[in-house]
A and B are shown apart, each in its own frame.
Chain A
Amino acid sequence: QVQLVQSGAEVKKPGSSVKVSCKASGGTFSSYAISWVRQAPGQGLEWMGRIIPILGIANYAQKFQGRVTITADKSTSTAYMELSSLRSEDTAVYYCARETVVVTTGWFDPWGQGTLVTVSS
């Protein structure tokens, strides 16, 4: 079955960018959607955006439009999420997850293990 393995923790300065990777194994990478969901410390879950590798199309939550870029490399079965203009409020654990899309959105299973991004001066 599909497994998602994410890159390691990052510490970034305010105003900089971070790029997190999510490598898939098992299944057919290109045929499903990969979404990114973040969780600030002690808080709930927040969807950021998704990519469908076979189509090369990404879409984003309105809140993150212009600041997040999600890409995928089919040759390595890896998805990436880059967040720019980082601020302290972006400190969170970032998860990738396979999304089973029904019509326009879907549910998430499985999830990557999460990547902690800390934004601090």
Chain B
Amino acid sequence: EIVLTQSPGTLSLSPGERATLSCRASQSVSSSYLAWYQQKPGQAPRLLIYGASSRATGIPDRFSGSGSGTDFTLTISRLEPEDFAVYYCQQYGSSALTFGGGTKVEIK
């Protein structure tokens, strides 16, 4: 099973700042089969990115994904108030899909 480790656990930033979230895999994720989700309190997760860098329908272009192999990054170019949430990565490059433990982006 591929273990995904997200860092940092918590990111304290101000609106307008840039957020950089990391997702590291215990082994290479084939074909960059990695997705990112946003979850707000009391809500279901929402797909942001799939295929490591493809934005889902309706996702603003301030969200971008990059990376390959074992190292992936989600970048939010300028934080809006609605972006403060928990973010999860998920790999689907193996038959046993797995999620990372999440990064909370909080208001500083």
Which residue numbers of A lie inside 8 Å of B, CB to CB?
Answer: 44-47, 61-62, 95, 97, 100, 102-114
Contact = CB atoms under 8 A, between A and B. Distances in A.
Contacts of A105: 33, 92-97
Contacts of B95: 104-105
Contacts of A106: 92, 97
A45 B88 contact: yes
A107 B44 contact: no
A102 B35 CA distance: 12
A107 B95 CA distance: 12
B25 interface: no
A74 to B, nearest CB: 24
Nearest to B34: A107
A97 B37 CA distance: 13
Given A61-B96, A102-B33, A107-B50, A45 B90 contact: yes
Interface of B: 31, 33, 35, 37, 44-47, 50, 56, 88, 90, 92-102
Contact of A102 (B56, B92, B98, B102): B92
A47 B56 contact: no
Nearest to A6: B44
A44 B101 contact: yes
B45 A108 contact: yes
Contact of A113 (B44, B56, B99): B44
Contacts of B98: 47
Contacts of A103: 33
B46 A111 contact: yes
B99 A44 contact: yes
A44 B100 contact: yes
Which residue, of A108, A110, A112, has the highest number of chain B Cβ atoms within 10 A?
Answer: A108
Contacts of A61: 96
Given A102-B92, A105-B92, A111 B44 contact: yes
A114 to B, nearest CB: 5
7 contacts: A45-B45, A45-B90, A46-B99, A100-B50, A104-B94, A107-B50, A108-B35
